[in-house]
Structure 1
Amino acid sequence: MTAWRSQGFDVPGLLMVLGSAVCFALTPTLNRLAYDAGADTMSITTVRFVVAVPTLLLVALALGRVLRVRTHVWKHSAIIGVMMVLTAYGYVGSVAYIPVSLSSLIFYSFPLVVGLLGTIVSHERLTWLRATLMLAAFGGLVLTLSVAFDRLDPLGIALAAFGALCAAGSFMWTSRTLHPDDAIVSTLYMMAVACAIALVVQLAAGPPALPQTTLGWFAFLANAGFYTVGLLGLFGGIARIGATPAAMLSNIEPIISILLAIAVLGERLDGWQWLGVAIVLGMIAIMAESDRREAATRTSPAD
């Protein structure tokens, strides 16, 4: 699957992925509010999946979708669901051992992994321009996240890297197996598998730590809601535009998270961090314009 559909520039697919990035970007700030109110990583992760399953079920029923799917669709959805819950535990768990900035930097190396896997596995064309843009965007994240290397725990690094690999795997598997028309029902089955795993882990860990304030509960549940909407947009978008473009667009997620933290939590950026923000946004814009022109050339009538 290429970056754009055969008839040209796929705006709906782009908007789906960008919308999902905005939804996911809201979760770190909501996480912070929920943590401050007494919740913990395990309970926040579990409630995401617990809320997602009935929500997606209601959406599927309201839209008249047939819940019965072919065996291969169920199998692929289950595999992606397992990778998703492993992604969550790897990324979130790493923060207990290494700084958040380093964890985020390692995790958001997954677009580079997707680009390489797309070339090897899916035979997606990774041009020198696209490879350069992806590396430059990653460099922008290095500046923006202002990574601290004072606490380099091997377990934390391994967990973040594991989360990145699982995220890359879910992107690739989705792009190769999911049809755009199956996105809602397939995502429902993904979440059902992830929810079952998360509930088993939560039961083994003991009673969940729940928020103790009204604001905390709002953040706790809103986190799960935005995560669910983000998943729908992400997987629907990947099915339309492919894994590599979707992964590149996902670089905007930590940028939005940081800007939200500035607005809501009062955090501040220095000049180098603002430069990093500009680099990431610029690389994404250049790639989108390059692919738009390529699609226009491909679909224009011959002279």
Structure 2
Amino acid sequence: MNLKVAMTRSSSPANGLLFALTSAGLYGFNIVYARIASFTGASGSAIVVYRVLLMLVLVGLVAAILRSSLAMEREERGKLLLVGVSSALQGIGYLSSVAFIPVTVAAVVFYTYPIIIVLVSPFVEKTPLTQALVAIVAVATLGVCLVVGPAFSDLDWRGLALAFGASIATAVQFFAAARCTRTGVVAKVFWIQLIILPTAILVSLATGQLAPPSILALAPFAVTMTIAGYVGGFVLQFLALGRISAVAAGILYCAEPVVAAVSSALILNETLAPLQIAGGALVLAAIVANVLLEQRRRLKDAALVPIAD
């Protein structure tokens, strides 16, 4: 291995951390505008359907312009199918849970997926479960709980089950996506969205919310920001998961509810309580600790790889 190749590989995880953190920020920002769109009657399920259709069109155009292949690597077809199904289940479970429990409670239950990823990683990725990693994920989870500030009262078990199911689906998505490193990002996004589309249409039909495209004109700016945030976050998520482990990415995505809370305060004039600010600080501290831990692990791994002339 020459020095140039070694440098390229060592910088890739750093890019992955940046991609994941930016993706989490876009997802958190996207939620606020989705809420604004809902005020005008543009339902979430309808936005999801047209968002997926738009992504398929955009991916097709990008593939044509870049002359990029949409073919899947044969050995990764099963993994991509798993990513698509888990992505669909994630969205359905999380969005459906808020029909039975408050959004804040659903968020706390949903964001248990970093804990699931860390606890399962020794069995899936064969990585050691260190005390430092457990401490980081515990701090991040506590911070998320403080940020969303749930009121655990009169909870419906159906909502809890749906939110926790979405959390498990997200953990599966992260592990499966981290193993799809040979298929190009354009092809990944195309096939995953193609798997999500029929599921989103079925849910919209079942709930009676499959409205015509004209419904998007009710809040054009909010809908545009919602779709743009999702598209950017989704693409960056899969760029990140091709470069870093599911564990490292999972902790970084704890930034999403923090960004959502801050964006809500700035855009919707919602008030942040002192405990929420403290929770955001804990999440940021956990993210910084995770980045430092990942960097130390990366340097240790690089030191073990001999560099030939």
TM-score, with normalisation over the residues of structure 1? 0.91
| 1:33-44 pair list within 5 angstroms | 33-44=36-47
Counterpart secondary structure, 1:189: helix
Alignment of 1:9-24 (within 5 A): 10-24=13-27
Unpaired segments ≥5 residues, structure 1: none
Instruction: Indicate the residue corresponding to 2:115 in structure 1.
Output: 112
Q: Is the 8 A contact 2:56 2:194 kept in 1?
A: yes
Structure 1 residues 36 and 209: CA distance shift in structure 2, 3 A: farther
User: What is the one-letter code of the residue matched to 1:26?
Assistant: F
In the alignment, structure 1 residue 102 sits paired with structure 2 residue 95: no
Cα 1:184–1:125, aligned 2, differ >3 Å: closer, same or farther? farther
Indicate which of 165, 169, 191 corresponds to 1:166: 169
1:273 to 267, 276, 297: 276
Deviation at 1:57, TM superposition (A): 2.1
Give yes or no for the alignment of 1:219 onto 2:217.
Answer: no
Matches within 5 A, 1:201-212: 201-206=203-208, 208-209=210-211
Q: Tell me the SS of whatever aligns to 2:128.
A: coil
What is the CA–CA distance in structure 1 between the aligned matches of 2:110 and 2:273, rounded to whole Å? 23
**Offset from partner CA, 1:82-117 (integer Å, 9 cap, x none):** 111110010011111111110000001101111122
Q: Are 1:245 and 2:242 matched, yes or no?
A: no
AA aligned to 1:149 is F
CA RMSD of the aligned region, Å? 2.2
Give identity over the alignment, percent.
26
- Check 1:110–1:39 CA distance in 2 against 1; reply closer, same or farther (3 A cut): same
Residue in 2 that maps onto 1:89:
92
* Higher mean C-alpha displacement, 222-231 vs 167-176: 222-231
Aligned to 1:283: 286
- The equivalent residue for 2:192 is 190
Q: What SS class does the counterpart of residue 178 from structure 2 fall into?
A: helix
2:45 corresponds to which letter in structure 1? M
Per the TM alignment, residue 135 of structure 1 is displaced from its structure 2 partner at its CA by 0.8
1:19-168 maps to which residues of 2 (within 5 A)? Answer: 19-168=22-171
Give 1:170 shift: 0.5
**Residues 37 and 74 (structure 1 numbering): CA distance in 2 closer, same or farther, change over 3 Å?**
same
Change (3 A) 1:33 1:132: same
Q: Find the aligned partners of 1:224 and 1:280 in 2 and give their Cα distance.
A: 26
Aligned-partner SS, 1:220: helix
CA distance in 2, matches of 1:112, 1:93: 22
Taking a change above 3 Å as real, the CA distance of residues 269 and 71 of structure 1, as seen in their structure-2 partners, is same
Following TM superposition, by how much is the alpha carbon of 1:15 offset from its aligned partner in structure 2, in angstroms? 1.5
Contact 1:37 1:213 in 2 (8 A): no
Ranges in structure 2 where 5+ consecutive residues have no aligned partner: 1-7
Instruction: Give the SS at the match of 1:33.
Output: helix
TM-score w.r.t. length of structure 2 = 0.89
Q: What letter corresponds to residue 157 of structure 1 in structure 2?
A: L
Structure 1 residue 183: deviation in Å?
2.1
> Equivalent residue of 1:240, what SS?
coil
Distance in 2 separating the partners of 1:38 and 1:160: 24
Q: What count of residue pairs does the alignment treat as equivalent?
A: 297
Aligned residue for 2:114, secondary structure, equals: helix
DSSP-derived class of the 2:100 partner:
coil
SS at match of 2:170: helix
Contact 1:117 1:172 in 2 (8 A): no
Amino acid corresponding to residue 108 of structure 1 in structure 2: Y
> Counterpart of 1:229 in structure 2: which amino acid?
G
Superposed CA offset, 1:239-298 (max 9, x none) = 111100000100001101111001100011111111111011001101211222333344
Residue by residue over 1:142-167, the C-alpha shift from the partner in whole angstroms, topping out at 9 and shown as x without a partner, is 11111111231100001100100001
- Structure 1 residues 196 and 24 mapped into 2: Cα distance closer, same or farther (>3 Å)? same
Instruction: Name the SS for the 2:221 alignment partner.
Output: helix
* C-alpha distance in 2 between matches for 1:285 and 1:52: 32
